[in-house]
Amino acid sequence: MRKNIYINEGEVKRDGNALRIWERKIPLSLIENVFLFDRVKMSLSARNLLLRNKRMIIYMNGKYELEGVLLPEFLRSDMRRRIWQYENRESLDLSKFIVLKKIEEIERSFGLELGIMKAKLRNANKLNEVLGIEGNASKYMFEIFKKELRKRDIKEFVKRAYNPPPDRINGLLGFLYTLYYSYVFSEIIANGFDPYIGFLHQKRGTHAVFASDVMEEARVKLTFLALSILDKVYPDKFEEKYLSLEGRREVLREFDKFIEKYENSILKEFKDMVC
């Protein structure tokens, strides 16, 4: 079974039909995509091995920001799915569907009942109304998240903020969200969709808005996952606002377990709509 490979340090070289990192040799047959962090170096032959075999290389810096994605020359393209995205890019129903999935996941993950919020969503007639409901859902989720942190005697988190994160909790959340954004970007392309044509989120700059659409449900699950990760890494495995190398390894282990078990229902249902 192929898995994403996360490389925090060292130099990546080609060894036949495999990658070598220090003394570890990883056959290409076991590699899905490769995540490289800040100071990791990769040889040209290793890079070419991955690209020729249709693996993506995702670059991330030490502040948990996505630096870029190196794509193979060949990308799976499904014209029907791209045309469907383009023709439905202003669909209010699809925007409401994405937000509903998020609200339902907040209910499941945090043990809540948000019937009033779902009723407002059903009655929304404009995208701005839908975006406002999504914003309120996120705000509500982070209020519950903050209460869970207080139970753990963690008081530094005030609200969700980034670029740069004001505290360690926001640093961890940013790391998890960026990991998933990078992961789902590759999944979207692999399934023949265009990552830059969204429904809920609007195009801005180079941001892959469809990836943000798809990850709305996952964002809730990752926020909940952050609580269990904090039990393992807080505060000893942080260096100021960012995780130490050992802390990062712990997060990557938990993220990999999450990816193995979780199937994004938004992406799945979009695939089913244009089968």
Asked if 176 contacts 165 with a C-beta cutoff of 8 angstroms, the reply is no
Could you tell me which residues come within 8 angstroms of residue 195 by beta carbon, excluding any fewer than 6 positions away?
185, 188, 189, 208, 209, 210, 211
Architecture of the CATH domain 79-273: Up-down Bundle (1.20)
Mean local confidence (pLDDT), 14-20: 97
Residues paired with residue 190 on neighbouring β-strands, in sequence order: none
Least confidently predicted of 57-66, 121-130, 153-162, 165-174: 57-66
pLDDT above 70 (res 75): no
Q: What is the pLDDT of residues 231-262, one digit of tens each?
A: 999 999 999 899 999 999 999 999 999 999 99
**Domain-wise residue ranges, the chain:** 3-70, 79-273
Q: Alpha-carbon distance 29 to 54, whole Å?
A: 12
62 vs 102, which has greater pLDDT?
A: 102
pLDDT bracket for residue 74 (50, 70, 90) = low
Predicted pLDDT at 203: 65
99: burial class by Cβ within 10 Å (0-12, 13-18, 19+)? buried
Mean local confidence (pLDDT), 134-148: 96
Percent of residues, the chain, with pLDDT higher than 90: 84
Mention the CATH class of domain 3-70: alpha beta
pLDDT above 90 (res 138): yes
Predicted pLDDT at 205: 60
pLDDT above 90 (res 12): yes
